[in-house]
Amino acid sequence: MRELCDWNEVKIIEAEVCPAHVHMFVSIPPKLSVSKFMGILKGKSSLIIFQRWSNLKYKFGQRSFWCRGYYVDTAGKNAKRIAEYVRNQLQEDMMYDQISIKEYKDPFNGS
């Protein structure tokens, strides 16, 4: 991700890689549209990932490594708050996973 951002002159302000997704707070130059950058980032990174870990090709049959959508917002005055959110995302995901662990024990008959 860092190499792809460097190639496109995109500055990574804050980033966090979680087990199932990635959060990035970046500064994109005006010459590059957000949709074009996301296309480059998701397309090239999936090719690089499949190149380095070729066994993943079989797990993701049609080479669709990333989901189709993404969320984008402008920072403005909230830049510090967004950077803090991204920085703490891994801990929040871990807390959420602990809360959402299902208990497979039947409370009525104890099995």
**CATH label of the domain that carries residue 11:** 3.30.70.1290
| Other CB atoms within 10 Å distance of the CB of residue 63 | 11
How far the first Cα of the chain sits from its last, in Å, is 46
Contact status, residue 72 vs residue 38, Cβ threshold 8 Å: yes
Residues annotated as catalytic are: 85
Domain containing 80 equals 2-99
Amino acid at 20: A
Distance CA 71, CA 52 (A): 27
Residue 33 lies in a domain: yes
Q: What is the pLDDT of residue 56?
A: 66
- Count structural domains, the chain: 1
Q: What is the pLDDT of residue 6?
A: 92
Residue 53 lies in a domain: yes
Place of tokens 């996301």: 38
Residue 108 lies in a domain: no
Residue 49 lies in a domain: yes
- Confidence (pTM): 0.63
Per-residue buried b or exposed e for 34-56, using 16+ beta carbons within 10 Å of the residue's own CB: eeebeebbbeebbeebeeeeeee
Q: What is the pLDDT of residue 97?
A: 60
pLDDT in tens, the chain (111 residues): 888 899 999 999 888 877 777 888 889 999 999 889 888 888 888 878 777 777 766 666 665 667 777 777 778 777 888 888 777 777 776 666 654 545 555 555 655
Residue 83 lies in a domain: yes
Residue 110 lies in a domain: no
Q: Quick one: CA dihedral 28, 34, 37, 42, positive or negative?
A: positive
